Amino acid sequence: MRDTFEKFSPLTVGFHWIIAVGMIAMLGFGLYIEDLPRGPDKFSLLDLHKSFGIIIFVLATARILWRIKNKFPQPLSEMPNWQEFSAKFTHWFLIIATVIMPISGVMMSAGGGHAISFFGLEVIAAGDKNETFANIGHTIHGLGSKVLIFFILLHSLGAIKHQFMDKDGTLSRMVGRRVKPDSKTS
C-alpha cells in the first residue's frame, strides 16, 4: 500500500513512530550513559546503545529508501513560504540525523580502537586507534545529539500547531487515519 495525500500507509506510519521513539529513547539513554563513571556497567550499557543504534540505522536506511520510492508527503494546509521552508528543512535534518547519528557513533568507537557488536555478535572488529576519526565521530555525535533534540522539539511543535491551530488533520494522517482534503478536522 502506498501513501496518498489523505492517508499514510501502515509502513510509513510504522517507520515514523518506531524511529521517532527509538531516536528519542537513544538520546535519553546516551545522555544517561555519558554521565556514568568509566567501568564495566558503563561499557555494558554502551554495547546496548551501539546495538540499538545499529537497529535504528537499518530502519532509518529502509525508511529513506521507502520515502524515495513513495515520494515525500505534501502538507495538508497552505503555509507561508518561511514555514514551508522551515518544515522541509526540519524534516530533512531529522531524516539525515537518523543515519548520521549511528554512523558517527561507529566512527567514534572504531576510531577509539573498539569493536562494534550487535547484542554480542561482533560486526566490526577492533582495529588500530585513529584519533582524528574518533574525534570527528565524537564531535558529530555529541553536538548532533543536542541539535537533534532542538529539531525534535521544533518538529513536535509544528505537528501540534497543525493539529490544534490549523486543524488540518496532520496528526491524524500521521497515525494512519484518513483525512479529507481541504477540510478542517480536529
Please write the tens of the pLDDT for every residue from 22-62. Answer: 999 999 999 999 999 999 999 999 999 999 999 999 999 99
Average pLDDT rounded to a whole number, residues 100-125: 95
pTM higher than 0.75: yes
Residue 76 banded pLDDT, cuts 50, 70, 90:
confident
Tell me how far apart the alpha carbons of residues 16 and 22 are, in angstroms, rounded to a whole number: 10
| CB-CB contact of 110 with 135 (8 Å) | no
- Within a 10 A sphere around the Cβ of 37, how many other Cβ atoms? 6
Confidence check: pLDDT of 163 > 80: yes
Tell me how far apart the alpha carbons of residues 130 and 38 are, in angstroms, rounded to a whole number: 21
Average pLDDT rounded to a whole number, residues 60-72: 91
Residues β-bridged to residue 168? 185
| CB-CB contact of 101 with 47 (8 Å) | no
Helices (H), 74-179: 81-111, 131-161, 170-174
Residue 77 has a pLDDT of 81
Side chain identity, residue 69: K
Q: Which domains can be identified in the chain, with CATH numbers? A: 10-174 (1.20.950)
Tell me how far apart the alpha carbons of residues 100 and 172 are, in angstroms, rounded to a whole number: 29
Residue 186 has a pLDDT of 43
Tell me how far apart the alpha carbons of residues 144 and 153 are, in angstroms, rounded to a whole number: 14
Q: What is the 3-state secondary structure (H, E, C) of 38-89?
A: CCHHHHHHHHHHHHHHHHHHHHHHHHHHHHHHHCCCCCCCCCCHHHHHHHHH
When the pLDDT of each residue in the chain is averaged and rounded to a whole number, the result is: 91
Reading the block at residue 45, the C-alpha cell is 550499557
Residue 101 has a pLDDT of 97
